[in-house]
């Protein structure tokens, strides 16, 4: 058995691996960049080694630094987690060549499945059904457009390398193909160093079904049943569950058997996931489920599989990497209950889901009846350099309905501040009747639109809750005069109409009546000179007018400000250009995603302060649009 393990990753997955390794008596070594010097995974490991500056391409993505750290620390093995170098066959081979144990599939298996075009060809030869589309060497835009015409719109442009929704675009008509192709290739080149794409037929009523497989060096391969990851936003998974709703035993047997054939076709060892796309218009049927790709690593959503099977997949990884057989045979594995995972991200749903950065002054998650996988804690810093995940909330119960209720209970009390989070968005999604019925496709979030966006201002009841909290707060501090002055006529347990003056995010509120009870969907806590009120995952800092200042400034009309630190990767305008409302001005890359900034109205670019490939800071004035005189 491995005795010492270096984890070539960060955040919640590094903490997750450390937890299992410690239980197995394995010494753990963390690596960290400048931005992660005080990170939770660094403190949890037995040893930690600095590997470079904050940008991932100068630290976590530099294989030589990872291997040098392993040698320096005396580690026997390297676990890559997911993301970063986890599916890099050359890095895996370098680890093996350095006489270290690679906790993952063999390099030839990674290569076989690493490029989506070659993988689809291989799977077709192995008898695994694949999605109709174009796979070829001719990457001329005109040729690709002709192939899309032949396949029939809508189509999906997909980078052959990488994953996580990067380098993927749905195109509904020929007029939009060229621009989407260029954006897709640019994003793929930046993320994976490879801009080759394939074209697939867009599946109507699509559901994302994936099967967890596991192989060992003794020729054994088993599956651990399926997951449904259909709840996605821009091809990024948001809520995952196991087993898949509506999956009957016959379909499950067919899909899982196909996944095992796929794994055996590449002589697979370790944890992997075979991803399928299903046409769910007539329910889940074996003849309408097609292979998409294989992820040759542990998946972000692996906890839901662990919860329904009782298996620790990281423990299995470490045992198989040590040369042992898979601990259980196929007939010893079974499904127990239902599990759901929600990804809590540092992002602002009310502002186009832009990533949010900063210090977690308040970070409160439920600690009972739920599993939380997280790599941060209160006072941690959410930086602009990496994926903005805060935590994963995992609920396991006897059936799907109970698991959903457990997730809703957990999200109700999730408080994150002043960093914005998607907790309120997750609550609305999980609480929708469509999700509860299991009638979901990958288009669920897009179809629901603004109905899933939580309010960006506190409601009257939240303001009332804040008023009650503040009166108690000031009374306890013997500030009676101040409380009475600003909360005119308000007294605790008083039912008649009152006047309440409050402020939140720079906005003044006066409400005529304050509830005389505490709602059970609220939580309140002291914050600065006010109160932090949370309802259904949505948090607001509310206080007395003289004590709460605006958290965000507003720019004058036409000022194009950078919404976050990032790099300008496309510039569509020049100074003096005439622009129309909604026209794309420039594209900013931050936290692995592209964000296009558009003109707020028709006008002229009176000044331009941005340059291609320039790194810019949050709120930097990039351009000024003025109306024509």
Longest CA–CA span in the chain (Å) reads 80
For 264, list phi and psi in degrees, rounded to 5. -65, -30
98-102 contacts: CB < 8 A, separation 24 or more? 98/67, 98/70, 98/71, 100/67, 100/70, 100/75, 100/76, 101/2, 101/76, 101/77, 101/321, 101/322, 102/77, 102/78, 102/321
8 Å CB contact between 502 and 467: yes
Which tokens in the block code for residue 366?
Answer: 């439920």
Q: Cα angle vertex 252, ends 247, 258, to 5°?
A: 140
Residue 297 among the catalytic residues = yes
Sign for the pseudo-dihedral over CA of 55, 60, 62, 66 = positive
Q: What is d(CA 204, CA 207) in angstroms, rounded to the nearest whole number?
A: 9
For 475-494, letters b (16+ CB in 10 Å) and e give eeeeeeeebeebbeebeeee
Q: What is d(CA 175, CA 221) in angstroms, rounded to the nearest whole number?
A: 46
**Nearest CA-CA partner of 290 in 305, 277, 306, 275:** 277
DSSP letters for 362-398: EEE---SSSEEEES--TT-EE-SSS--EEEEEEEEES
- The residue from 233, 252, 297, 362 that is catalytic is 297
Tell me which residues are annotated as active site.
297
């Amino acid at each position: 058995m491995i005795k010492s393990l270096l984890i070539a990753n960060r955040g919640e997955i590094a903490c997750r691996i450390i937890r299992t390794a410690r239980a197995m008596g394995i010494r753990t070594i963390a690596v960290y960049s400048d931005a992660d010097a005080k990170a939770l995974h660094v403190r949890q490991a037995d040893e930690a080694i600095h590997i470079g500056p904050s940008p991932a391409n100068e630290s976590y993505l530099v294989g030589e630094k990872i291997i040098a750290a392993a040698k320096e620390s005396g580690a026997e093995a390297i676990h890559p987690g997911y993301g970063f170098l986890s599916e890099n066959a050359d890095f895996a081979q370098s680890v093996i060549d350095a006489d270290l144990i690679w906790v993952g599939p063999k390099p030839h298996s990674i290569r076989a499945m690493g490029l989506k075009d070659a993988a689809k060809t291989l799977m077709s030869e192995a008898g695994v059904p694949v999605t109709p589309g174009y796979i070829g060497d001719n990457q001329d835009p005109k040729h690709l457009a002709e192939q899309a015409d032949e396949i029939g719109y809508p189509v999906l442009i997909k980078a052959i390398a990488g994953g996580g929704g990067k380098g993927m675009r749905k195109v509904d008509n020929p007029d939009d193909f060229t621009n989407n192709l260029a954006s897709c290739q640019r994003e793929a080149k930046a993320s994976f160093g490879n801009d080759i794409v394939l074209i697939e037929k867009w599946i109507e009523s699509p559901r994302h079904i994936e099967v967890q497989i596991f192989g060992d060096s003794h020729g054994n391969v088993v599956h651990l049943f399926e997951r449904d990851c259909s709840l996605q936003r821009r091809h990024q998974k948001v809520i995952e569950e196991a087993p898949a709703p509506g999956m009957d035993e016959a379909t499950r047997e067919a899909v899982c058997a196909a996944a095992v054939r796929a794994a055996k076709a590449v002589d697979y060892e370790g944890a992997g996931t075979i991803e399928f796309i299903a046409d769910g218009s007539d329910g889940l049927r074996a003849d309408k489920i097609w292979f998409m790709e294989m992820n040759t690593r542990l998946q972000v959503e692996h906890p839901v599989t662990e919860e329904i099977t009782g298996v620790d997949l990281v423990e299995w990884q470490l045992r198989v990497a040590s040369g042992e057989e898979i601990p259980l045979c196929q007939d010893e594995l079974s499904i127990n209950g239902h599990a759901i995972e929600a990804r809590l991200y540092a992002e602002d749903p009310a502002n186009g889901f832009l990533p949010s950065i900063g210090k977690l002054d308040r970070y409160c998650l439920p600690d009972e009846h739920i599993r939380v996988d997280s790599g941060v804690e209160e006072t941690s810093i959410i930086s602009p350099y990496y994926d903005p995940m805060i935590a994963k909330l995992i609920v396991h119960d006897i059936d799907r309905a109970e698991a959903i209720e457990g997730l809703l209970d957990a999200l109700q009390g999730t408080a994150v501040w002043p960093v914005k989070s998607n907790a309120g968005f997750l609550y609305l999604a999980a609480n929708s009747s469509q999700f509860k019925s299991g009638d979901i496709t990958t288009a669920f979030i897009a179809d629901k639109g603004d109905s899933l966006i939580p309010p960006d201002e506190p409601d009257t009841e939240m303001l009332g809750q804040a008023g009650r909290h503040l009166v108690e707060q000031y009374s306890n501090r013997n500030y009676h005069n101040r409380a009475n002055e600003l909360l005119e006529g308000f007294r605790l347990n008083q039912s008649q109409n009152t006047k309440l003056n409050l402020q939140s995010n720079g906005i003044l509120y006066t409400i005529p009546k304050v509830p005389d009870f505490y709602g059970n969907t609220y939580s309140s806590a002291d914050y600065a000179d006010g109160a932090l009120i949370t309802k259904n995952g949505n948090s607001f800092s509310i206080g007395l007018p003289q004590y709460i200042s605006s958290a965000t400034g507003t720019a004058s009309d036409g000022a194009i400000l950078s919404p976050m630190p990032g790099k300008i990767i496309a510039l569509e305008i020049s100074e003096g250009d005439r622009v129309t409302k909604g026209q794309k001005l420039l594209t900013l890359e931050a936290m692995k995603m592209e964000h296009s900034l558009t003109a707020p109205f028709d006008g002229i670019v009176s000044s331009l302060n941005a340059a291609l490939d320039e790194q810019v800071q949050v709120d930097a004035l990039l351009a000024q649009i003025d109306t024509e005189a």
